[in-house]
Chain A
Amino acid sequence: DAKTTQPPSMDCAEGRAANLPCNHSTISGNEYVYWYRQIHSQGPQYIIHGLKNNETNEMASLIITEDRKSSTLILPHATLRDTAVYYCIVMGDKVIFGPGTSLSVIP
Chain B
Amino acid sequence: KAGVTQTPRYLIKTRGQQVTLSCSPISGHRSVSWYQQTPGQGLQFLFEYFSETQRNKGNFPGRFSGRQFSNSRSEMNVSTLELGDSALYLCASSWGTGGRETQYFGPGTRLLVL
Q: Which residues of A contact B (CB under 8 A)?
A: 30-32, 34, 36, 41-46, 49, 87, 91-100
Contact = CB atoms under 8 A, between A and B. Distances in A.
Q: What is the predominant secondary structure among interface residues of chain B facing chain A?
A: strand
Interface string B46-74: 00100000011010000000000000000
Contacts of B90: 43-44
Interface in B65-114: 88, 90, 92, 98-100, 102-108, 110
B43 A87 contact: yes
Interface of B: 4, 33, 35, 42-45, 48, 55-56, 58, 88, 90, 92, 98-100, 102-108, 110
A88 to B, nearest CB: 12
Interface majority SS (helix, strand, loop, mixed), chain A? loop
